[in-house]
Structure 1
Amino acid sequence: MSPPTPRRRRALPVLTAALAALLCGLAPPAAADGPPDWAARPTGGTDRDARPYVYLEGTPGTVLQDRLTVTNSGRAPLTVRLRGDGRVGAWIRFAEDTVTLPPRTRAEVPLALTVPDNAVPGDASGEAVATGGGEEIRVPVRVRTIGPTLAALGVEDVEVSGGTIRYALVNRGNAMLRPRLAVRAEGVFGTLLDRPERPLPLELAPGRRVERTEPWPDAPALDAVTVRLRVTASGGARDEAEASATYLPVAPAVGGGLLVLGGLAALASGAYRRRRTGRAAPQPAPDAKPAVQPEPPEQAGPPVEAQPPVDTEPLLKAGAKT
């Protein structure tokens, strides 16, 4: 057999790469990540019209029953563990906490929910949690305890910062609430914001507190405002709260602050110069004595009184007669 020519040697890597690509194309594609090949939902209805959650109601001390359907659509056996979670999770007991399903099968697992004797009338919620195959499915469970209900809703901790209004909603009663919110803001020169009452996208369970924000993109640049929130819900639940805020432009505020600081600095500098000038004036030495003018010497003896002139003419005449 003759040795391969240079052309054949160059073609050999190309043929090898083409063969490898062909083999890769024949291999089955890797499974893509997607939804689990099993499901858990309340028993009843069809796959297209399944119950969205388990709903039970009864008086305190009542044992309520329902079923959870677990379906294994995969090609391998599946082990699923069941438990309760949330407020009513401690009330739920399953007939089996662990269920093993062969491929392409389903199982209906009975569950019992015992309403505590001291349960407050109203609505409570929780979840039935199914875990298997590295996935977790949560099925909502809602329970209504029959008895007198109290709807009480509160809004608190209102804050206004820039273009955002923050607040908190609290369900102080024993009924499930769907709050509605109205927002109004008043400034120095009139109404700045007036949003009519609208439903909020949430359900507030008894005892639950939720912190929320309300956007205010067109908040004023210069004003003193008062923002008032009003919340309502069915059953006569209602509450109001307000907060105040002052809006100042950043640049003028900084410029005014610098101007004030400059004025204060000028006043302080003038006072300092005046104190320096006062200290520079000449002052007498603390031990210097005042200059003393010499007094004229005192005369010895009493002062001589002036005598009147003596008339000598009579004396001369008397001498001549003699």
Structure 2
Amino acid sequence: MPYARHVLCLPLAALSLLATAPATTAAGDGGWSLTPATGGADGRPYVYAEGEPGTVLQDGVSVRNPGGKPLTVRLSGADADNTRDGRFTVRTEPADTGAWIAFAGTTGGHRTAVRTLSLTVPARTRAEVPFTVTVPVGAAPGDHPGAIVAVAGGRTSAVRVQLRVPGPALSALTVEHVTVRGGRIAYELVNRGTTVLTPRLAVRADGLFGRVLDRAPRTLPVELLPGRRIRLTEPWPHRPALDAVEVRLTVTAAGGAHGSGAASAWFVPWGTVAGTAAGLLTAVGAGVVVRRRRRRPPDPGADDRPGRDVELTGAMT
């Protein structure tokens, strides 16, 4: 894995502009791109750095402008973050790794390290932009995810910076707020350790008459950052029609992280129940009508029927 070199300072002359052939234009974004500086034949998906507290690490990013006009780009450091559903994003106000990132710049005509760098990349040119990560004294062991963010032409792009501080690290997570409704199992994962986790999820559900769901562990398409909470859902299209079940989720990750959570759910075919209830009410209602008809009092206007006058007259004498 590529690694960052240890340096004491960042020279201003480290910024270089390299002519490049026109690149394939990304759809709808003007064509410019931000990538880690060249780190092999296939490049690197992100920047990885590891250093003790108090050290200064150096690496770089490339800004490629394949267009026919100069491109002004604004670069800055940021803390990485998870969205609510686990996607990668960045925080607008860095407090950790983003605040440790600096670029070569000038202030009052003097060379200095700046938190934000604005540069113009000529047409059909690639700019190699070095940066440093200063690991502060007292930085906690573990992962400190960050990013280099570039803004140009109304678009924002970012390169991840995976910084690790050596030392005892904690790998821990919990599964919380498990619910079952609408054909889906919803749950929350919380990274309570100091390392980035790629969770593996297993799902099991037991009903009154045995197991009704058993999914083997699989890797989730998320990277859960330290201290972050995300909410995910698991589809369950073929759930029981009538049963009482307990659903249990078990999540594991590298470093011995293990967590589980459970929820109970009742599955009742309410449409069938409603139809049956309506039929019973109809039948009961009909029986009441019949009983009421049978108990109707005699009709006063029907006294000309045979035997009726004789019985009434005899009772009155």
Same fold (TM over 0.5): yes
State the SS of the aligned residue for 2:272: helix
Among 93, 104, 110, the residue aligned to 2:124: 104
Aligned residue runs from structure 1 range 63-102, under 5 A: 63-87=56-80, 88-96=97-105, 97-102=117-122
Partner of 1:60: 53
Aligned 1:2-81 pairs, distance under 5 A: 34-45=28-39, 49-81=42-74
For 1:318, the equivalent position in structure 2 comes to none
Q: What SS does the aligned partner of 2:273 have?
A: helix
Structure 1 residue ranges, 4+ long, deviating more than 4 angstroms after superposition: 255-265
CA distance in 2, matches of 1:214, 1:231: 13
- The letter for the 2-side match of 1:112 is T
Q: 1 or 2 for the larger relative contact order (CA 8 Å, sep ≥6)? A: 2
Q: Secondary structure at the match of 1:136?
A: strand
AA aligned opposite 1:82: L
**1:246 partner amino acid:** W
- Specify the alignment match of 2:19 in structure 1: none
- Structure 1 residue runs of 5 or longer lacking an equivalent are 1-30, 266-322
Identical amino acids, percent of aligned pairs? 54
CA distance in structure 1 between the aligned counterparts of 2:72 and 2:44, rounded to whole angstroms: 24
Q: How does 1:177-216 map to 2 (within 5 A)?
A: 177-216=197-236
The verdict on how the C-alpha distance between 1:254 and 1:245 changes in structure 2, with shifts beyond 3 A counting, is same
Tell me the distance in 1 between the aligned counterparts of 2:150 and 2:26.
23
- Tell me, in whole angstroms, the C-alpha distance in 2 between the residues paired with 1:86 and 1:105: 28
Displacement of 1:55 in angstroms is: 0.9
Letter in 2 for 1:49: D
For residue 176 of structure 1, what is the aligned residue in structure 2?
196
Structure with higher Rg: it is 1
Determine helix, strand or coil for the equivalent of 1:89.
helix
Structure 1 position 263, deviation (Å): 11
Give the deviation of 1:255 after TM superposition.
4.3
Structure 1 Cα separation of the partners of residues 262 and 281 of structure 2 = 35
> Among 222, 225, 246, which residue is 1:226 paired with?
246
Whether the aligned pair in 2 keeps the contact of 1:79 and 1:100 (CA below 8 Å) is yes
Q: Name whichever structure is richer in strand by fraction.
A: 2
Higher helix share: 1
Q: CA deviation at 1:262?
A: 8.8
Unaligned runs of 5+ in 2: 1-24, 81-96, 106-116, 286-317
* Further displaced range: 123-132 or 242-251: 123-132
The CA deviation string for residues 256-306 of structure 1, in whole angstroms up to 9 with x for no partner, is: 6658989999xxxxxxxxxxxxxxxxxxxxxxxxxxxxxxxxxxxxxxxxx
Alignment partner of 1:95: what SS? strand
Task: For residue 158 of structure 1, report the CA deviation from its aligned partner.
Answer: 0.4
Which residue of the other structure, out of 121, 133, 152, is the alignment partner of 1:132?
A: 152
**CA–CA separation in structure 1 for the residues paired with 2:120 and 2:271:** 69
Question: How many positions carry a matched residue from both structures?
Answer: 238
Alpha carbon RMSD of aligned pairs, Å?
A: 2.8
1:254–1:117 Cα change, 3 Å = farther
**d(CA) in 1 for partners of 2:28 and 2:119?**
23
- What SS does structure 2 have at the residue aligned with 1:254? helix
CA distance in 2, matches of 1:138, 1:91: 16
Distance in 2, matches of 1:33 and 1:244, equals 47
Does the 8 A contact of 1:162 with 1:219 survive in 2?
A: no
User: Contact 1:128 / 1:139 at 8 angstroms: preserved in 2?
Assistant: yes
Cα pair 1:185 1:193 within 8 Å, conserved: yes
The one-letter amino acid paired with 1:80 is V
SS at 1:251 equivalent: helix
TM-score by length of 2: 0.68
* Corresponding position: 1:149 with 2:169: yes
* CA contact 1:129–1:138 (8 Å) conserved in 2: yes
Separation of aligned partners in 2, 1:175 and 1:56: 14
Q: Deviations over 1:199-219 (max 9, x none)?
A: 111111111111111111110
